Structure 1
């Protein structure tokens, strides 16, 4: 939060005398104190939990040892920041030895105060968080047998409702057992989250005690029951889909059934299903005659148009994979994509041919291929395992990389989401997604293989919220996917939703405010999530009006059919 409130709460684990005795024996066998053993165990767990290898934890030291404080009466405590480097591949017993060594060094230099250290390091301070130490670890002294002579005395805990650290761990001896108290800042954590972390630490500690020689990376972060529950939750429903087919095969099958029905529309121009089949077939045969082989990559550098759709299907029918390229991309990016995917050809249009960079393969224009009259011949048989398209990521984290997607993978996603979207022949889909963005795949393929009508938004309309609003009110589509940003722009332009529209958001986190407005004003609204590498979508969630959930964004939902979702650490092991 921008301003800390210091509101706090506590959750705890209780360890019985038998297990406490075992832990003390383990610590002694490792030539360590119980406190150092528990600190090292918690640091190892925390490092795994946060996927972090450089940790700083504060431990308490008696300030009475400082010069001039020998006669001080009071609760004098100084904070020692203890820095540890966690190597997940190392055994816990080796990490414990390192923590023990660091602990001894810290206490040897405890006269160098925390304030002096902060000034020496010239650390930037902030009102939003503590400087250097955000988590403290402490062991209470036993307070059961207080000796005040003839005076009977007992202690009673006072529950803390504040917390100065993000988290404060306190080991509290109780008879022969102890409580592991996790005090936390409620601005940052919910009680249920801390309870799950504590149960995870219990499982971590139990396995650690039995197998101290194991690498830290192999110690569990979840109790067995929790792990099984998460794995069940992350498994999509098993479903039978015709994954032996191909994208273009299913669409061409539909085209032969309803050749006169409109398939694609943009502005005043359109293609019927029959025209789409005829033009894509002509392009496919021309490509094959010009040497394009099954399995080749063919760049597709076109403006949004009905010709783009004919070219896309033509490439697939030739047995090749299409590689979408935005004509507005810089020449360097276009060259990188063509070289990286080893494209053997590029399919473009006359207006962009001259602006393409030098290329070792062949360059064709749609106009050129449609003018040809290649003899009717059988097109290649394309297996479902063949790559259908290669989409390049934005490159925001470095050099763009291509993600090849097979026909069978794309079809699984399309059939899986259609169990919820339920595309019908009478539907009208309005597509605002760029060809280079995999959200376009359901628009370009699912719409047509179900016999519905696809309308491509014109480039200028996509960028203008008011123009987009006017287009939706004029065309009244029944299906539409868009990023949360696009939906927000539409709402800001005054669009009031449509009770006939089945809408989907994807590609970004979906804010609650946007989701609630769309769920309340559309026939149905879903939040879809999935990196390009997982084929468009991996999870879907239907958003209900007035639905409440913690956090800034709507949850991503459950896995779609035949998909498994898991949260893993860098060692590819399950984690909370």
Structure 2
């Protein structure tokens, strides 16, 4: 395995004098970052970390928090980034479930934590960690590099196991189709415990670009960071894009060349608004799973003509739409999306039952051997090879004998201009099987009347909501995505 194939090797492979990271008024070159990673790796080894051990970080974004992740990798350990927005009980679960030997956090966050791991803080221990003799432990391409904890609709968060090969090829894939180059400045606005957020770092570095770290409180923070640092690439999830599209940008976005979306569907009205706000930027609409990083992207040239499509497979991925018997569907026939190839993760940490449900041997139609991910998502593929998300099997609404995609109802609601956020669910009904409940946040005057009018003209009767629940704001999870599990639990049962 060459140095550039281990995920921390991305830093060593970049031009040493180029800027790698920026945080507030600080910046650090790739050469200095690589040296600091090696020293902190030595500090972790001196603290008792051994190859294969899990190291959890629970910190806001900073140069030190990023160094800690890749220093764990340099020490041969497995890094486990806990989202800084998580609460103590959730972090305690991650530390316990992963069997971590060490947790690095801040002094204030460590107060009251009940964990078996060795707890170090930036304030008390960083000087010792960063002043150690450099270390670099050998790893192989298929060694476990990271555990990313992802929440499902039920149960506690589960750790997705990612190898060095998974992370390296994911970085290379995004670098390829975005065309990332050394003159790019990537705003790292999503949490690093989210695969999409972690890839903002790694794909930037794969292209020799700098990453600018930002923990934002309001959309205005993002606007100011884009303007100050002349950001060229900005990634978001739908709730963030919705907020940014409603913000006054002035000339702040003139530097943007690339916009990317994943973690949910961007309805055509929002994508049109983003392209109007940022006419010089290419908009990449993507679809993916934490279990296989990313599956597809839509060529920006096709956003106008195919606004509902999620596009074709990204580099290093193979996607197939399959019938229940494993055969490939015909054009425009719905089926389950199955992803094969080297981006597929190694399964769920210490959870053989759920791993067996989602990870199975690649189907006969695949060109790849090994495991594939059965997504549970219903897709269709058109004659041109473009893919369209229909819905998740466990989220499809079955009403009056019809199978209804929540996405179709949500898009119609958002297109009305009467709501700033929307989520549709099926509520049990003895007569109809399920009725449609729409949860939304109002936008403008007479929102309900405008929404009802728009839905009555755009959707058939069986898709009309039987009830609308109005919220002041739609809840999001720690990764910034719409928290559908909380909405279902609180409003759609």
**Aligned residue for 1:560?**
314
Q: What SS does structure 2 have at the residue aligned with 1:439?
A: helix
- Displacement of 1:548 in angstroms is 3.3
TM alignment of 1:406-421, pairs within 5 A: 406-421=163-178
**Aligned residue for 1:529?**
287
For the structure 1 residues 300 and 570, does the alpha-carbon distance in structure 2 shift closer, same or farther, using more than 3 Å as the test? farther
**Aligned residue for 1:422?**
179
Q: Which runs of 5+ in 1 are unaligned?
A: 1-240
Q: Which residue of 291, 294, 297 corresponds with 2:51?
A: 294
Higher normalized contact order (CA 8 Å, seq sep 6+, divided by chain length): 1
Counterparts of 1:343 and 1:546, CA distance in 2? 44
Matching of residue 338 in structure 1 with residue 95 in structure 2: yes
Counterparts of 1:546 and 1:573, CA distance in 2? 30
Q: Which residue of 389, 394, 397 corresponds with 2:151?
A: 394
Q: What SS does structure 2 have at the residue aligned with 1:544?
A: helix
- Displacement of 1:373 in angstroms is 6.8
Q: What SS does structure 1 have at the residue aligned with 2:157?
A: coil
For the structure 1 residues 297 and 372, does the alpha-carbon distance in structure 2 shift closer, same or farther, using more than 3 Å as the test? closer
Counterparts of 1:401 and 1:532, CA distance in 2? 11
- Displacement of 1:308 in angstroms is 0.8
Q: What SS does structure 1 have at the residue aligned with 2:72?
A: helix
- Displacement of 1:392 in angstroms is 1.0
Matching of residue 246 in structure 1 with residue 2 in structure 2: no
**Aligned residue for 1:317?**
74
- Displacement of 1:291 in angstroms is 1.8
**Aligned residue for 2:265?**
509
Counterparts of 1:420 and 1:328, CA distance in 2? 31
Q: Which runs of 5+ in 2 are unaligned?
A: 334-493
- Deviations 1:53-89 (Å, cap 9, x if unpaired)? xxxxxxxxxxxxxxxxxxxxxxxxxxxxxxxxxxxxx
Counterparts of 1:500 and 1:328, CA distance in 2? 27
TM alignment of 1:159-238, pairs within 5 A: none
Counterparts of 1:409 and 1:345, CA distance in 2? 24
Q: What SS does structure 1 have at the residue aligned with 2:86?
A: coil
Q: What SS does structure 2 have at the residue aligned with 1:430?
A: strand
2:171–2:206 contact (8 Å) kept in structure 1: no
1:258–1:273 contact (8 Å) kept in structure 2: yes
Matching of residue 383 in structure 1 with residue 143 in structure 2: no
- Deviations 1:149-178 (Å, cap 9, x if unpaired)? xxxxxxxxxxxxxxxxxxxxxxxxxxxxxx
CA RMSD of aligned residues (A): 2.5
For the structure 1 residues 372 and 378, does the alpha-carbon distance in structure 2 shift closer, same or farther, using more than 3 Å as the test? closer
- Displacement of 1:242 in angstroms is 8.1
Counterparts of 1:557 and 1:433, CA distance in 2? 23
Counterparts of 2:101 and 2:324, CA distance in 1? 37
- Deviations 1:106-141 (Å, cap 9, x if unpaired)? xxxxxxxxxxxxxxxxxxxxxxxxxxxxxxxxxxxx
Q: Which residue of 400, 422, 433 corresponds with 2:190?
A: 433
TM-score calculated relative to the size of structure 1: 0.53
Counterparts of 1:518 and 1:564, CA distance in 2? 29
Counterparts of 2:191 and 2:301, CA distance in 1? 28
Q: What SS does structure 1 have at the residue aligned with 2:120?
A: strand
Q: What SS does structure 2 have at the residue aligned with 1:510?
A: coil
Matching of residue 485 in structure 1 with residue 239 in structure 2: yes
2:191–2:198 contact (8 Å) kept in structure 1: no
Q: Between Structure 1 and Structure 2, whose CA radius of gyration is higher?
A: 1
Which sits farther off after the overlay, 430-439 or 509-518?
509-518
Q: What SS does structure 1 have at the residue aligned with 2:9?
A: helix
- Displacement of 1:499 in angstroms is 6.0
TM alignment of 1:267-286, pairs within 5 A: 267-286=24-43
